């Protein structure tokens, strides 16, 4: 087990290149199951979750070859010899559920372990299942597994999703590409990762209109072909490093990204007094000379403020002038970073789904425990700003979603290192 040690107080200065988006790359990888031809993905991030998805696809029979230098992954699902996604892989990564739609659509059957709960909430998958049922799949839950069958193929339908769900929209959009006739997904998620997946599927021969709006229409095809697709930049990594620059009172240039990917987070940062200046390759982030202002934040589906940036924004608000009310509307248990931030001197009180953050002058370094991916990076941000030493335990969460995080931060002057416990 590793720990991350940070000696805080250094304003970040320099440049950070943003990696390809984890939450775009994972569904894109499962799209390879829809065709027997190669799918080539470029700008792939090198992350633990990507390795888990590779292991899952490999055991389904997908041939994978990657070039880490070129950040390219080629996936070829010429034949699928196993339609079961086993518990051992699914329990490590809930995004494994993304194989369900493509497998049923291509093979007429799939057995996927039920993902179960996780640290940030219960995370049901009822919308994935009811949507597939509306496409004609028979679904049973047996021995902890979803057993889905559609021996005669899926049939297009109009599906109104009761809650906006990112991966359910992705699963159903992929399944509908090989269904007979037209599918309409109503109340679809509008995240940039949905648009990226739709663009890749269109490259593969799919007929999809409306991705990025709340209604997506798909005309099913008999088959899809291979293609090449570049993964979009990671908007959560983008927002995280923008907040890292702000919390350390630094100034950094984020490249291979765009302000357009974080419309609401950038508006909040600007209201807090942070200057964001677009450049050809991305944007500059500069912290104010005076105080950072407290701003209220409420998480919402895209284009609202991303829940995956809530913990990082809260870390920034701990040292703001005044107060900030942070409300989490997506996950019921996503304040686990609060007690850890409080160990570093933060003044935060939680009332149901809202946290009242009263700004203090400085955080103080302390030993803390990472509980999930975004909570971990929130503690890294707090550690970068704190006086003295912060020691973060359980850092494996970080490796799921942040590529070379210590290198990127060290390149901007941070005193951060990974040490063996
Ligand atoms: C995606 O998860 C992301 N994961 C999450 O990122 C992100 O937090 C989340 O979207 C919200 O933006 C990937 O893209 C791989 P949802 P997903 O289905 O799709 C409820 C990270 O840190 N719901 O949009 O699983 C659900 O409980 C991760 O990178 C149902 O009730 O999230 C939640 O309250 C964490 N039934 C809400 O919808 C369902 O069938 C939104 O969840 C599905 C979801």
Q: Kindly report, residue by residue over 236-265, the tens digit of the pLDDT.
A: 999 999 999 999 999 999 999 999 999 999
Mutate to test the pocket of ligand 1, among 165, 303, 304, 305 (most ligand atoms within 8 A of CB): 165
Q: Cα separation of 302 and 191, whole Å? A: 5
Whether 116 has a pLDDT exceeding 70, the answer reads: no
289, with CB counted inside 10 A (0-12, 13-18, 19+), is: exposed
Residue range 56-112, pLDDT digits in tens: 999 999 999 999 888 999 999 999 999 999 999 999 899 999 999 999 999 999 999
Q: Is 127 in the pocket of ligand 1 (CB under 6 A)?
A: yes
The residue assigned the tokens 């390219």 is 72
Q: Which of 118, 200, 320, 342 is catalytic?
A: 118
Of all atoms in ligand 1, which is nearest to the CA of residue 193?
14
**Taking the alpha carbons of 14, 270, 310, 114 in that order, is the dihedral positive or negative?**
negative
Q: Is 415 in the pocket of ligand 1 (CB under 6 A)?
A: no
Whether 122 has a pLDDT exceeding 80, the answer reads: no
Q: Cα separation of 325 and 296, whole Å? A: 5
Q: Is 273 in the pocket of ligand 1 (CB under 6 A)?
A: no
Of all atoms in ligand 1, which is nearest to the CA of residue 191?
12
SS3 assignment, position 212: coil
Pair of tokens at residue 180: 């007979």
pTM of the predicted model, to two decimals?
0.97
Q: Cα separation of 251 and 99, whole Å? A: 41
Q: Cα separation of 314 and 335, whole Å? A: 10
Of all atoms in ligand 1, which is nearest to the CA of residue 306?
12
Residue range 330-360, pLDDT digits in tens: 998 899 999 999 999 999 999 999 999 999 9
Q: Cα separation of 403 and 148, whole Å? A: 35
In the reported structure, the alpha carbon of residue 53 is separated from the centroid of ligand 1 by a whole-number distance in angstroms of: 17
Q: What angle do CA 218, 164, 158 make, to 5 degrees?
A: 35
**Taking the alpha carbons of 316, 318, 324, 325 in that order, is the dihedral positive or negative?**
positive
Q: Is 166 in the pocket of ligand 1 (CB under 6 A)?
A: yes
Whether 2 has a pLDDT exceeding 70, the answer reads: yes
Half-sphere exposure of 399 (CA within 13 A, CB side): 13
Nearest to 161 by CA among 195, 190, 127, 138: 127
Half-sphere exposure of 67 (CA within 13 A, CB side): 8
Cα distances (angstroms) measured from residue 270 to each of 199, 265, 274, 294, 320: 31, 9, 5, 11, 13
Nearest residue CA, atom 21 of ligand 1?
Answer: 308
Is 118 one of the catalytic residues?
Answer: yes
pLDDT at 115: 86
Nearest to 376 by CA among 358, 399, 403, 409: 399
Q: Is 165 in the pocket of ligand 1 (CB under 6 A)?
A: yes
Q: Cα separation of 398 and 390, whole Å? A: 15
Q: Cα separation of 373 and 395, whole Å? A: 9
Q: Is 406 in the pocket of ligand 1 (CB under 6 A)?
A: no
Q: Cα separation of 189 and 88, whole Å? A: 29
């Amino acid at each position: 087990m590793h720990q991350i040690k940070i000696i805080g107080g250094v304003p970040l200065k320099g440049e950070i290149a943003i990696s390809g988006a984890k939450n775009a790359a994972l569904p894109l990888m499962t799209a390879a199951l829809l065709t027997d031809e190669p799918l080539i993905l470029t700008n792939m991030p090198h992350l633990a979750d990507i390795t888990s998805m590779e292991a899952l696809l490999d055991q389904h029979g997908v041939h994978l070859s990657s070039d880490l230098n070129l950040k390219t992954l080629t996936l070829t699902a010429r034949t699928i010899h196993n339609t079961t996604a086993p518990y051992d892989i699914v329990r490590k990564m809930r995004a494994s559920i993304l194989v369900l739609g493509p497998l049923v659509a291509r093979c007429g059957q799939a057995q996927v372990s039920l993902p179960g709960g996780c640290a940030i909430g219960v995370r049901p998958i009822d919308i994935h299942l009811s949507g597939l049922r509306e496409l004609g799949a028979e679904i049973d839950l047996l021995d902890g597994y979803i057993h889905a069958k559609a021996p005669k193929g899926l049939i297009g339908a109009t599906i109104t999703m009761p809650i906006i769900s990112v991966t359910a929209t992705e699963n159903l959009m992929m399944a509908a590409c090989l269904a007979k006739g037209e599918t309409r997904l109503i109340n679809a998620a509008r995240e940039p990762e949905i648009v990226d997946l739709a663009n890749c599927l269109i490259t593969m021969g799919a007929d999809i209109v409306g991705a990025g709006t709340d209604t997506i229409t798909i005309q099913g095809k008999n088959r899809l072909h291979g293609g090449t697709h570049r993964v979009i930049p990671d908007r959560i990594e983008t927002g995280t490093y923008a907040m890292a620059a702000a919390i350390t009172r630094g100034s950094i240039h984020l490249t291979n990204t765009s302000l357009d990917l974080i419309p609401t987070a950038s508006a909040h940062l600007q209201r807090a007094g942070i200057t964001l200046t677009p450049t050809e390759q991305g944007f500059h982030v500069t912290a104010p000379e005076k105080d950072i202002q407290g701003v209220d934040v409420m998480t919402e589906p895209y284009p609202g403020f991303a829940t995956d940036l809530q913990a990082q924004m809260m870390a920034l608000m701990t040292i703001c002038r005044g107060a900030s009310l942070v409300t989490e509307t997506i996950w019921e248990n996503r304040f686990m970073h609060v007690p850890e931030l409080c160990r570093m001197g933060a003044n935060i009180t939680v009332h149901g789904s809202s946290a009242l953050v009263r700004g203090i002058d400085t955080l103080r370094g302390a030993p803390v425990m990472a509980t999930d991916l975004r909570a971990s990076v929130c503690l890294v941000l707090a550690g970068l700003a704190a006086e003295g030493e912060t020691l973060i335990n359980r850092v494996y969460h970080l490796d799921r979603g942040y590529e070379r995080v210590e290198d990127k931060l060290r390149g901007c002057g941070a005193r951060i290192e990974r040490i063996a416990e």
